[in-house]
Amino acid sequence: MASEVYIAGVGMTKFGKSDRSLAELMVEAATKAFAESRVGSIDYILIGVMNAEEFTGESNVAAMIADQLGLSGVPSSRVETASSTGSAVFESGLYAVASGYHRNVLIIAGEKMTHLPTARTTKILAEVIERRERSYGASMPALAAMITQRYQYEAGLSAERMQSILGKVAIKNHYNGSLNPFAQFRKLVSETDYHNSKWISTPLRAYDCAPITDGAVAVVLTSDKRLIKISGIGHATDTLAVRHRDSFTSFRSTRLAAYQAYSMAKVNPSDISLAEVHDAFTMFEIIGTEDLGFFPPKQGWMALEEGVTSIKGKLPINPSGGLKARGHPVGASGLAQIAEVVWQLRGEVEVRRQVPGARIGLTQNIGGLANNNLVIILERTDRYRAIPVYWKPQFDPGWPEPKEAFDPDPEVGTGTVETFTTIYTTPEGIPSPLHLAFVRTDLGQTILTRSREGNLEIGLKVQFEKEEDFIYIRPISSPATVSDSIKQWLRTTLSPPKRKEENP
Q: Within positions 306 to 325, which residues make up the interface with its own copies, using CB under 8 A?
A: none
User: Which of residues 223 and 268 has its CB atom nearest to its own copies in the complex?
Assistant: 223
Applying CB under 8 A, the span of 125-133, 175-183, 188-196, 282-290 interacting with its own copies comes to 125-133
Site for its own copies in 2-21 (CB under 8 A): 2-3
As a whole number of angstroms, the distance between CA 266 and CA 278 comes to: 23
- Residue pair 397/384 in contact (Cβ under 8 Å)? The answer is no
- Residue pair 471/450 in contact (Cβ under 8 Å)? The answer is yes
- Residue pair 108/442 in contact (Cβ under 8 Å)? The answer is no
Site for its own copies in 146-205 (CB under 8 A): none
Cα–Cα distances (Å) from 356 to 208, 304, 316, 348, 359, in that order, read 28, 19, 10, 11, 9
As a whole number of angstroms, the distance between CA 125 and CA 128 comes to: 6
Cα–Cα distances (Å) from 48 to 22, 175, 410, in that order, read 11, 29, 40
Residue 448 within binding range of its own copies, rule CB under 8 A = no
Other C-beta atoms lying within 10 Å of the C-beta of residue 13: 24
User: Which of residues 173 and 231 has its CB atom nearest to its own copies in the complex?
Assistant: 231
Specify the length of the chain in residues.
504
Site for its own copies in 29-88 (CB under 8 A): 30-31, 34, 41-42, 44-45, 50-51, 53-54, 57-60, 62-64, 66-67, 69-82, 88
User: Which of residues 160 and 501 has its CB atom nearest to its own copies in the complex?
Assistant: 501
H/E element holding 472? strand 470-475
Considering only 101, 181, 356, 495, the residue that binds its own copies (CB under 8 A) is 101
Site for its own copies in 378-437 (CB under 8 A): 399, 402
As a whole number of angstroms, the distance between CA 397 and CA 400 comes to: 9
User: Which of residues 100 and 454 has its CB atom nearest to its own copies in the complex?
Assistant: 100
Applying CB under 8 A, the span of 122-130, 349-357, 426-434, 475-483 interacting with its own copies comes to 122-130
User: Which of residues 267 and 349 has its CB atom nearest to its own copies in the complex?
Assistant: 267
Cα–Cα distances (Å) from 368 to 50, 96, 240, in that order, read 10, 25, 8
Binding mask 330-369 for its own copies (x = CB under 8 A): -------------------------------------xx-
Residue 239 within binding range of its own copies, rule CB under 8 A = yes
Considering only 7, 8, 10, 96, the residue that binds its own copies (CB under 8 A) is 96
What is the strand order of the sheet 44-48 is part of? 44-48, 104-111, 215-222, 6-12, 228-237, 372-380, 360-365, 274-277
User: Which of residues 106 and 456 has its CB atom nearest to its own copies in the complex?
Assistant: 106
Q: CB of 367: closest distance to its own copies in angstroms?
A: 6
Residue 135 within binding range of its own copies, rule CB under 8 A = no
Site for its own copies in 256-295 (CB under 8 A): 256-257
